């Protein structure tokens, strides 16, 4: 069974006398800095010269260049985007680490795949929110909290666990629950969702759209039916609340009978999907993906831009735009 920590497992006093530096005031950085300050910790911000620096200042933080903030603090939250983190770490963080410092990551990626190697004598921990940045703040304010994956990667002080849990509590995450997981496992699960579950789900959706449009149904009606009406998202939300099987009870008997009896026809696809997923997972766990993505970065970014161009020119994207405009959905409302 997994170990899960809640508020009662954490002592809120442990980090009270320490100085916490939030390094980069972006999606996660802003929300985490505000939560920590509201939990009574002494928080400073490290940020490059950009609009985020001004935002941090206007929201009442003392802001310094990243290297200076790293030098001033003994609890450091490294919250730049993952792809620039090794460079920022080498230049602006590593030279200022002192014995006894606590270095926290919101994603295990760089440490797990050996792109960042923290020195001995410091605590290295993970508090990886399963929540986007604005949600980290909103659920702190609402009192609900948000779940995270947490771990002690290196215990340099002998107090790493109590410091980790105190940090997770001040961030508002032990309120919902923090599940213990190594950095390598956290990063692997995250990448698997992006590289296997996401594309497989996308392929199923595209097949459904193509089947119906080829059968003569208007693309707008098809996209509305499949996901743009919001019914699918609502059903998933209900599935989250009561369980996927139980949410079936909210659907008609015709729907339930059709879903259950026709599910068998798709069963035979299972092993071939699992085989591709296993191959993707192996590429993640072995570090092959991390190596690929960190080698010849400029070439990879060009490839990414090209792939996005093709995606945006695909008929699915055009149909989606037309449907969202026709039904004034989301930011296509025009108000
Ligand atoms: P952001 O994309 O919001 O970027 C964070 C900040 O880093 C921005 O202020 C950005 O400034 C700054 N930055 C960009 N490049 C550099 C650089 N070269 N040197 C210094 N600062 C730089 O990051 P996120 O908040 O999304 O991600 C931070 C961490 O949180 C990552 O480890 C990520 O994996 C993790 N995480 C993110 C989640 C999310 O939902 N976003 C969820 C869970 C974990 P500018 O824009 O001006 O370049």
What pLDDT is recorded for position 93?
A: 98
- For the stretch 228-257, pLDDT in tens is 999 999 999 999 999 988 988 888 999 999
How far are the Cα atoms of 94, 98, 177, 237 from residue 88, in angstroms, in the given order? 9, 17, 31, 38
Please report, for residues 17, 146, 178, 187, the alpha-carbon distance to residue 192 in angstroms, rounded to integers and kept in the order given: 39, 21, 20, 8
Task: Evaluate: CB of 88 within 6 angstroms of ligand 1.
Answer: yes
Side by side, the strands of the sheet bearing 102-105 are 4-5, 178-180, 148-154, 123-129, 102-105, 75-78, 19-23, 42-46, 63-64
Residues of the chain with pLDDT under 50: none
Q: What is the C-alpha end-to-end distance of the chain, expressed in Å?
A: 49
* DSSP code of residue 113: T
Give the containing element (helix H, strand E) for 317.
helix 315-326
With the most atoms of ligand 1 within 8 angstroms of its CB, the residue from 22, 24, 32 to mutate is 24
Length of the chain: 335
Q: How far is the CA of 40 from the centre of ligand 1 (A)?
A: 24
The number of the ligand 1 atom at minimal distance from the alpha carbon of 66 is 20
Reading phi first (left if > 0) and then psi (alpha if -120 to 50, else beta), residue 100 is in: left
Q: Is residue 65 lining ligand 1, measured as CB closer than 6 Å?
A: no
- The residue whose CA has the least distance to atom 26 of ligand 1 is 27
46 lines ligand 1 (CB under 6 A): no
Query: ∠167-170-175 over CA atoms, to 5°?
Result: 105
Residue 332 has a pLDDT of: 74
Instruction: Tell me, using a 6 A CB cutoff, whether residue 132 lines ligand 1.
Output: yes
Contact of 228 with 327, CB cutoff 8 Å: yes
Answer yes or no: is the C-beta of 172 below 6 A from any ligand 1 atom: no
Between CA 224 and CA 212 the distance in angstroms is: 12
- Residue 330 confidence (pLDDT): 82
* 82 alpha carbon – ligand 1 mean position (Å): 7
149 lines ligand 1 (CB under 6 A): no
């Amino acid at each position: 069974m997994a170990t899960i920590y809640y508020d009662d497992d954490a002592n809120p006093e442990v980090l009270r006398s320490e100085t916490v530096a939030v390094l980069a005031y972006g999606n996660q950085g802003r929300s985490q800095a505000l939560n920590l300050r509201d939990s009574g910790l002494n928080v400073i911000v490290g940020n490059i010269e950009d609009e985020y620096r001004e935002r941090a200042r206007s929201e009442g933080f003392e802001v310094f260049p990243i290297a200076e903030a790293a030098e001033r603090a003994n609890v450091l939250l490294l919250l730049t985007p993952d792809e620039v983190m090794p460079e920022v770490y080498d230049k602006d963080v590593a030279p200022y680490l002192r014995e006894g410092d606590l270095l926290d990551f919101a994603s295990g990626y760089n440490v797990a795949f050996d792109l960042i190697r923290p020195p001995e004598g410091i605590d290295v921990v993970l508090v990886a929110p399963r929540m986007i940045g604005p949600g980290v703040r909103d659920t702190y304010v609402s009192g609900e909290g948000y779940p995270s994956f947490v771990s002690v990667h290196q215990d340099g002080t002998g107090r790493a666990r109590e410091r980790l849990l105190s940090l997770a509590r001040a961030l508002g995450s032990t309120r919902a629950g923090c599940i213990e997981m190594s950095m390598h496992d956290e990063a692997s699960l995250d990448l698997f969702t992006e590289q296997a579950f996401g594309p497989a789900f996308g392929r199923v959706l595209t097949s459904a759209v193509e089947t119906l449009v080829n059968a003569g149904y208007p693309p707008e009606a098809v996209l509305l039916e499949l996901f743009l009406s919001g019914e699918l998202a609502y059903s998933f939300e209900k599935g989250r609340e009561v369980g996927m099987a139980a949410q079936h009870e909210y659907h008609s008997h015709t729907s339930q009978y059709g879903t259950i009896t026709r599910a068998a026809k798709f069963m035979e696809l299972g092993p071939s999907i699992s085989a591709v997923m296993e191959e993707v997972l192996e590429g993640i766990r072995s570090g092959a993906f991390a190596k690929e993505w960190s080698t010849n970065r400029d070439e990879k970014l060009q490839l990414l831009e090209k792939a996005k161009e093709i995606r945006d020119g695909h008929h699915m994207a055009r149909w989606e735009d037309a449907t969202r405009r026709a039904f004034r959905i989301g930011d296509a409302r025009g108000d």
